[in-house]
Structure 1
Amino acid sequence: MFNRFYRTDEARARNSGGMGLGLAKAKEFVIAHQGTLKAATTRGQGTIFTVKLPY
């Protein structure tokens, strides 16, 4: 989920969706600050993202 997403199918243009870099960049930012980023998904309810940073 936090890996960079690369489009290999040219039919799927960037203007029809995001680049898939948001979560990868968020994780890099959090790790650079000695923190953690986790995701927990419950089917039918959604996903909770938890960011923990040191004081």
Structure 2
Amino acid sequence: MENSGDGIDPQLLPRLFDRFYRADPARREGSSEHAGLGLAITRSIIRAHGGQIRCESERGWTRFVIELPRGD
């Protein structure tokens, strides 16, 4: 999945899939609405199926790549 936008700071990419991590400062404090679990749960589900997920981002776009093994 890919979208255009500001992109994600390269320093934040390694932590995006950590539980409770929220890269957006506006979502870090005072709100339980955004718990920082979505990408961690996504990664867990994909790994349970033998796959992997990664995020690539540069100025102007962000892409999440999911790779799953082919079923026979």
Common fold by TM > 0.5: yes
After superposition, the C-alpha distances for 1:1-55 in whole angstroms (9 at most, x for unaligned) are 1001168xxxx2335x511100000000000000010110012x12100001111
Aligned identity (percent) is 37
Partner of 2:64 in structure 1? 49
Q: Give unmatched runs, 5+ long, in structure 1.
A: none
The root-mean-square deviation of aligned C-alpha atoms, in Å, is: 1.9
Does residue 1:3 correspond to 2:18, yes or no? yes
Number of paired residues?
49
Of 7, 10, 13, which aligns to 2:30? 13
The SS at the match of 1:18 is coil
TM-score normalised to the size of structure 2? 0.59
Amino acid at match of 1:46: W
The SS at the match of 2:56 is strand
TM-score normalised to the size of structure 1? 0.75
